[in-house]
């Protein structure tokens, strides 16, 4: 499998870029084994590109551009009239009302020791 020719891209090439300078036109097509074999026999220039770079390709001003790639089928959206939830939401228990206030916490032993220690330098 070919690798995309753009800069430091390491993705696999899925599209080929072809161009004709005399007719000022460029085209992108799906890149597969049969296409590569035909291009090698005809000595055509094949510029392999990954999907991201193929989608971003721009041609010079005034050139004709043809995207000959076959679009992948998109997944069908879910019908909007679904009445049953896909999952049951978890129920959260209600916080219990506190009948009596929380008791005041006693200071820790370390806090009491520091309070009783004399302060130096004053």
Q: Is the pLDDT of residue 62 over 90?
A: yes
Asked if residues 71 and 30 have their Cβ atoms less than 8 Å apart, the reply is no
50 Cβ contact partners less than 8 Å away, ≥ 6 residues apart: 4, 6, 9, 11, 12, 13, 14, 15
Stronger pLDDT, 102 or 114, i.e. the higher one: 114
Residue 3 counted as domain residue: no
Residue 94 counted as domain residue: no
Residue 27 counted as domain residue: yes
Domain count, the chain: 1
Q: Is the pLDDT of residue 42 over 60?
A: no
Residue 82 counted as domain residue: no
Residue 23 counted as domain residue: yes
Residue 42's domain comprises 15-67
User: For 88-95, what is the mean pLDDT?
Assistant: 68
pLDDT above 90: percentage of residues in the chain: 15
Residue 4 counted as domain residue: no
Residue 88 counted as domain residue: no
Could you give the angle at the alpha carbon of 35 between the alpha carbons of 32 and 38, nearest 5°?
A: 150
Distance of CA 93 to the CA centre of its chain: 37
Instruction: Supply the pLDDT for residue 65.
Output: 92
Pairing of strands 64-67, 25-30: parallel
User: For 76-83, what is the mean pLDDT?
Assistant: 67
User: For 84-102, what is the mean pLDDT?
Assistant: 65
H/E stretch holding 118 reads none
Residue 37 counted as domain residue: yes
Instruction: Supply the pLDDT for residue 35.
Output: 65
């Amino acid at each position: 499998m070919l690798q995309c020719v753009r800069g430091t891209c390491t993705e696999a090439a899925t599209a080929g870029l072809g161009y004709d300078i005399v007719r000022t036109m460029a085209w992108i097509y799906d890149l597969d084994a049969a296409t590569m074999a035909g291009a090698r026999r005809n000595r055509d220039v094949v510029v392999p590109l990954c999907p991201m770079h193929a989608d971003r390709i721009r041609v010079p001003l005034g050139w004709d551009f043809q995207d000959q790639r076959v679009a992948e089928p998109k997944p069908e959206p879910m019908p909007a009239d679904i009445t049953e939830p896909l999952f049951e939401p978890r129920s959260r228990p209600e916080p219990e009302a506190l009948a009596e206030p929380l008791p005041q916490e006693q200071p820790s032993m370390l806090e009491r020791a520091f309070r009783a220690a004399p302060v130096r330098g004053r």
